Structure 1
Amino acid sequence: MKKLILLSNFLFALILSSTAQEALFNAQQIISPEVHEDNTVTFRLFAPNADAVEITGDFLPTVKMETPMGEMDGPGKASLTKDENGVWTYTTEKLGPELYNYAFLIDGFRTTDPNNPFLIRDVASSTNIFIIGGGHAELYKTNDIPHGSVTRRWYDSPGLGMDRRITVYTPPGYEKSTEDYPVLYLLHGAGGDEEAWISLGRTAQILDNLIAQGKAKPMIVVMPNGNVIQDGAPGEGSRNFYKPAFMIPKTMDGTYEGAFEDIIKFVENNYRVKAKKENRAIAGLSMGGYHTLHISRYYPNTFDYMGLFSAAIMPREDATGKVYSNFDQTLQQQMDNGYKLYWIAIGKTDFLYDANKEYRAKLDSMNMPYEYVESEGGHIWRNWRVYLSQFAPRLFQ
């Protein structure tokens, strides 16, 4: 028996060793990306049999691209150079502070960098990421400061007839504290889900850093899934693994907005919150900005702070639900009830720029107070992370 146990332990160790060696020897022993002291970045890829290798990333000049939502700005491409060892290389110009993403194109086939394990998913595409520090990008880094907690919870939604997954950020010290906190409801765009703001938006890092710097009040941030036919993100809900889609049914037909009280009730019954209008904020990007506009109007005495980030303010044929009726009257009521901040931000080259301009003209005609921020760039996460870092310090002051 003793010999059998020893043999079993030996075989187990051998399996672990071979697995570790396989992971080691299958990996390319190449540094990519390599961020230099002057903030240029070198990318490398070992592909000796490739005829052409390109890189695409948001640090390259933009190009026009056709998307399901029309023509938009997209990342350009650059060619890598092959050396005698079969390693392809590309070095950027000096880059400014930012969280960047990129992918390789090997003979036209798009793939991620095998030397960079850090990835984010945007709808159905995965890209590598890296950070150039300094300036606003310091907010995107995990620094040596107190940290909040990020949890994924499930809540009952009677309005949608299912249990649903939600992401919740609680500020540093929440677990040991007895105090109540204000709440920001932060909504994603089309193709996103309850993972979008926490991964692509760097919400936890931004809030941790702003709170540590004394620039934002400690707050709870609630990030729901705005796709009402899903109980959770692809790979996390009951449908398990399937390809995410950009626009799915019922995302902008009023169903989500009409059932939003289910989320508020869950949060206020399960977290220590200040359950009053002056302690509730709601904001969202693109489709989430559209939801923010209509939720805050449909429940006109619920939120004191609204943030519309590149809001998808556009007419829709499926927008026939009760939520969209009496638009002018409910918007007027929202104004008459009063609020502390109605914040609108958009990039100058965003394809939704004109729609937002028309909406601001409507607010001007009503004398409805708002603040407006216009930035460079288009419909991109680079803007939305900045908008969050500008909006959060304005809350609950």
Structure 2
Amino acid sequence: MIKTYLLSFLLTIVTVIGAQAQEALFRAQQIISPEIHQDNSVTFRLLAPNAQSVQITGDFLPTVKIETPMGQMDGPGKTDLVKGNNGVWEFKSQSLGPELYNYSFIIDGFTTIDPNNPFLIRDVASVTNIFIIGGGHAELYKTNDIPHGSVTRRWYDSPGLGMDRRITVYTPPGYENNTEKYPVLYLLHGAGGDEEAWISLGRTAQIMDNLIDQGKAKPMIVVMPNGNVIQDAAPGEGSMGYYKPQFMVPKTMDGTYEANFMDIIKFVESNYRVKADKASRGIAGLSMGGFHTMHISRFYQNTFDYVGLYSAAIMPREDATSKVYSDIEGTLKVQKDNGYKLYWIAIGKTDFLYDANVAYRKMLDDIGMKYQYVESEGGHTWRNWRVYLSEFVPKLFQ
């Protein structure tokens, strides 16, 4: 009798769980969106029979000027979807070039994600859907059938900041199975980012795997720290719990991060098989991370042979009173005299930081500090920064 009761009870539980699973399945819209066509045009669809208007915004549309805390910048445009008799709204794009794109829907003025596309990225506090049009440079952003490196989240002790902090570390294919020592690239994010930014938005692991497999880049370790010194980790990943990410947080660009950067290097060189010399260290960063990169590399003038500034936020700041920011020209001259292999600067023609970078390059020219310069189309966007990483990495540790 007891066995019969238990069997009946278990069958009831299984039935309920199965019903809930089926309910979740059928709650989903059975619609394909986005649908990538053979000519690389894309159709987006949304079931919203009661909506009065549906628009799509994304970086595959013509850009518009938007106001941001950093000034006027290029932003994604938007366009209307057309409603069908079945309550499904549709928009078909023109043929798109190779790229990783992001987009969102706007339903009666409310911006939201595509419920039919589960692939998302977070940029500061905004979550958008993504898709890839393959070919060209976008092949580097895809996960291909090749040997893969590993991505780990590690915690390191920062005595200078008085806390344990989280970093993201990429190790190249085969690292776990050999005894080789590797060079290291320290890759820094921009304002509003964290240790997740380069690995998710920047596609760092995919780019590294593909470049290494193609023989275009040396196998290397890539370390992606969190540049926000009041955080121990990205929002939702650390002791501060779940909270809305901010574009700029206190002490982000006041010299504290740069002054304590050696805590990160010491951890890496104590816990990974690396070549711990100047010729085997590189540092690069985008926007705020480019600002950090410039100051870290000249403050520790004999530490890095490879320096990359991507759309660097090099501009005067009222809070730049730390000793890290003193005698910029003099410390750059020392960095020049110590010697380096590559100082690489890249920026888009319509980037709001373009003039600041022109002024910085003039300073370098005046002191005779050599650099390579790349000027691309577009503005202050991840589309550019992924390309810059793809172009910079093959130049390292040759």
TM-score w.r.t. structure 2 length?
0.99
Q: Secondary structure at the match of 2:144?
A: coil
Which residue does 1:189 correspond to in 2? Answer: 190
How far apart are residue 326 of structure 1 and its match? 1.8
1:6 deviation in Å? 1.1
Cα deviation 1:311-366 (Å, max 9, x = unaligned): 00010011111111121211110000000000000000000000000000010011
- Cα separation, 2, equivalents of 1:5 and 1:332: 80
Corresponding residue of 1:372: 373
1:243 aligns with 2:244: yes
Look up the match of 2:306.
305
- Residue by residue over 1:150-188, the C-alpha shift from the partner in whole angstroms, topping out at 9 and shown as x without a partner, is 000000000100000100000000000100000000000
| Letter in structure 2 aligned against 1:154 | W
The alignment status of 1:342 with 2:343, answered yes or no, reads: yes
Quote the residue 1:79 is aligned against: 80
Amino acid paired to 2:106: L
Q: Counterpart in 2 of 1:114?
A: 115
Q: CA deviation at 1:5?
A: 2.8
Whether 2:102 is the aligned partner of 1:101: answer yes
SS in 2 for 1:103: strand
CA deviation profile, 1:15-54 (whole Å, cap 9, x unmatched) = 3212211211110000000000000000000000000000
**1:144 CA displacement:** 0.2
Report what 2:281 is aligned to.
Answer: 280
Q: What are the equivalent positions in structure 2 for 1:110-259 lying under 5 Å apart?
A: 110-259=111-260
Q: CA deviation at 1:3?
A: 2.4
Q: Distance between the aligned counterparts of 2:4 and 2:138, measured in 1?
A: 58
Structure 2 residue aligned with 1:263: 264
> Which residue is 2:321 aligned to?
320
Q: 1:258 and 1:344 mapped to 2: Cα distance? A: 23
Q: Tell me which amino acid in the other structure corresponds to 2:227.
A: G
Q: Aligned partners of 1:10 and 1:347: how far apart in 2?
A: 62
User: Higher mean Cα deviation, 8-17 or 196-205?
Assistant: 8-17
Partner Cα separation in structure 1 for residue 9 and residue 218 of structure 2:
56
> Relative to structure 2, which stretch is displaced further, 186-195 or 314-323?
314-323
Q: How many angstroms apart in 1 are the aligned matches of 2:249 and 2:12? A: 49
Deviations 1:245-295 (A, max 9, x none): 000000000000000000000000000000000000000000000000000
Secondary structure of the residue that 1:72 maps to in structure 2? strand
CA–CA separation in structure 2 for the residues paired with 1:331 and 1:15: 68
Deviations 1:121-153 (A, max 9, x none): 000000000000000000000000000000000
Q: Which runs of 5+ in 2 are unaligned?
A: none
Specify the alignment match of 2:293 in structure 1: 292
Q: Which amino acid aligns with 2:329?
A: D
- 1:240 Cα shift? 1.0
Taking the aligned partners of 1:157 and 1:240, their CA distance within structure 2 comes to: 20
Instruction: Please give the per-residue CA displacement for 1:177-210, whole angstroms capped at 9, x wherever unaligned.
Output: 1000000000000000000000000000000000
Deviations 1:347-389 (A, max 9, x none): 0000000000000001001110000000000000000000000
Alignment-derived partner of residue 360 in structure 2? 359
In 1, distance between residues paired with 2:134 and 2:9?
49
Q: How many Å separate the matches in 1 of 2:6 and 2:219? A: 55
Report the secondary structure of 1:43's partner residue. strand
The residue aligned with 1:52 is 53
Q: Which residue of 2 aligns with 1:37?
A: 38
Instruction: Please report how far the alpha carbon of residue 4 of structure 1 lies from its aligned counterpart in structure 2 after TM superposition.
Output: 3.6
| Distance in 2 separating the partners of 1:169 and 1:19 | 39
Alignment partner of 1:11: what SS? helix
Alpha carbon RMSD of aligned pairs, Å? 0.6
Which residue does the alignment assign to 1:13?
14
Shift of 1:12: 2.7
For the residues of structure 1 that align with 2:396 and 2:80, how far apart are their CA atoms? 45
Q: Count residues with an aligned counterpart.
A: 397
Give the whole-Å Cα distance in 1 for the aligned partners of 2:254 and 2:136. Answer: 40
- C-alpha displacement of 1:8: 3.4
Which residue identity is paired with 2:286? L
Superposition misfits of 4+ residues, deviation over 4 angstroms: none
Deviations 1:40-74 (A, max 9, x none): 00000000000000000000000000000010010
Residue identity opposite 1:200 in structure 2: L
1:88 partner SS: strand
Secondary structure, aligned partner of 2:72: strand
